[in-house]
């Protein structure tokens, strides 16, 4: 029986839309023998998998709403987020921070009429209703919205601070909020939830994912953690945690506005030096200096990578155009073709 069959119509009352609890106990053999839908993420293969909670952490004013809105649109339409792959899923964007009047202006800046038409009923933006998941009826309100608009899809919450009234520095209080969203929303409705979250004040002791404001339980519960940091005119995005699969390469985005106030997000490889360049850039620079044909085994030995890691970085390099395939007779992910750098 599908999740949709168990939950029923989104027009029913919130108590009727809540699926019954199910006890599931397996042996190793029975678990492997059971048939499940493939575990696929809506973003970068295994990021934003069903039944999980993720967070996007960034400073105030860094452009998280632009980032989240565009990513929500790309997933809702199944189009690439720059060079990064998405899988089409119904999306609910819960705007607790901005009003419909404010988002009206931003949506007109960001999307063309054709793009709005392409999104159709796959992307909904909700405003107005105050939802505090730690207070009476708060979780029921969220559950009702998800049952109607995001079963089997995803929810973007902008921002996490506005979805609860708990003490963000208290692990016990925030555990109720985060595990409640995971266990009462993401799991039973087979969806993912992305919490857009602010950083704390900069500190030498709080870097990367640890810059997320408040209790450390955020890092425990979230399956995926993306951190946005500004460098020059670009915003670098790193995958600080990915529960399933290898972390994708860092990427960057910049926000530009033309004389008509139309806004564009330009997405590319992360800027930086040394370790910040990421392995795709290191691979590219090594290939520029290498004299001779390069195959997967050569790359693997040069970097002491496993074959799986070598395949992943080659594939990432191809997707961003830093590495061109010279011979495509084999094709496919992890193919045996030779590679050369883009001139």
Q: State pLDDT tens for residues 39-71.
A: 999 999 899 999 999 999 998 888 899 999 999
pLDDT at residue 8 is higher than 80: no
What b/e string do you get for 78-103 counting C-beta neighbours within 10 Å, with b at 16 or more? eeebbbbbbeebbbbbbbbbbeeeeb
Question: In the chain, what percentage of residues exceed pLDDT 70?
Answer: 78
Work out the average pLDDT over 153-157: 97
- CATH 1.10.10 domain residues, the chain: 276-341
Q: Give the residue with greater pLDDT, 48 vs 332.
A: 48
pLDDT at residue 315 is higher than 80: no
Identify the pLDDT of residue 83: 82
pLDDT tier for residue 334 given thresholds of 50, 70 and 90: very low
- CATH 3.40.50.300 domain residues, the chain: 3-272
Cβ neighbours of 178 (radius 10 Å)? 25
Q: What is the dihedral of CA 290, 296, 300, 306, to 10 degrees?
A: 160
Distance between CA 205 and CA 203 in Å, rounded? 5
Q: Domain 3-272: which CATH class?
A: alpha beta
Identify the pLDDT of residue 19: 53
Fold of 276-341: Arc Repressor Mutant, subunit A (1.10.10)
pLDDT at residue 324 is higher than 60: no
pLDDT tens for each residue of 258-279: 888 888 888 876 654 444 456 7
Identify the pLDDT of residue 326: 35
Instruction: Compute the residue count for the chain.
Output: 343
pLDDT tier for residue 21 given thresholds of 50, 70 and 90: low
CA torsion through residues 227, 277, 292, 310, sign: negative
Identify the pLDDT of residue 314: 74
Q: Give the pTM.
A: 0.75
pLDDT tier for residue 211 given thresholds of 50, 70 and 90: low
Instruction: Please report which helix (H) or strand (E) contains residue 180, including its range.
Output: helix 171-181
> Taking all residues of the chain, what is their mean pLDDT, rounded to a whole number?
80
Identify the pLDDT of residue 233: 73
């Amino acid at each position: 029986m599908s999740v949709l069959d168990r939950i029923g119509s989104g027009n029913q009352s919130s108590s009727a839309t809540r699926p019954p609890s199910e006890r599931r106990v397996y042996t190793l053999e029975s678990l492997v023998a059971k048939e499940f839908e493939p575990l696929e993420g809506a973003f970068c293969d295994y990021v934003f998998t069903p039944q999980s909670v993720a967070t996007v952490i960034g400073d105030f004013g860094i452009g998280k709403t632009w980032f989240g809105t565009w990513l929500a649109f790309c997933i809702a339409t199944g189009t690439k987020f720059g060079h990064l792959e998405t899988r089409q899923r119904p999306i609910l964007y819960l705007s607790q921070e901005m009003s419909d009047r404010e988002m009206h202006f931003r949506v007109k800046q960001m999307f063309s009429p054709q793009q709005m038409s392409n999104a159709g009923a796959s992307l909904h933006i909700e405003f107005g209703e105050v939802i505090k998941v730690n207070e009476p009826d708060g979780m029921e309100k969220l559950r009702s919205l998800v049952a109607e608009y995001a079963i089997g899809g995803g929810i973007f919450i902008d921002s996490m601070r506005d979805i609860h009234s708990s003490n963000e520095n208290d692990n016990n209080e925030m555990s109720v909020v985060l595990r409640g969203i995971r266990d009462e929303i993401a799991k039973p409705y087979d969806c993912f939830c992305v919490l857009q979250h602010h950083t704390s004040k900069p500190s030498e002791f709080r870097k990367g994912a640890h810059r997320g404001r408040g209790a450390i339980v955020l890092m425990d519960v979230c399956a995926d953690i993306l951190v946005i940091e500004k460098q020059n005119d670009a915003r670098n995005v790193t995958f600080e945690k990915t529960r399933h699969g290898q972390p994708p390469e860092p990427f960057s985005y910049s926000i530009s506005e033309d004389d008509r106030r139309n806004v564009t997000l330009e997405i590319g490889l992360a800027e930086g030096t040394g370790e910040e360049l990421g392995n795709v850039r290191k691979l590219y620079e090594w290939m520029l200096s290498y004299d001779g044909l390069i195959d997967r085994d050569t790359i693997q030995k040069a970097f002491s990578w496993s074959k799986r890691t070598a395949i992943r970085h080659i594939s990432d390099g191809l997707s961003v155009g830093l590495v061109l395939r010279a011979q495509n007779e084999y094709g496919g992910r992890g193919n045996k073709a030779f590679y050369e750098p883009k001139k």
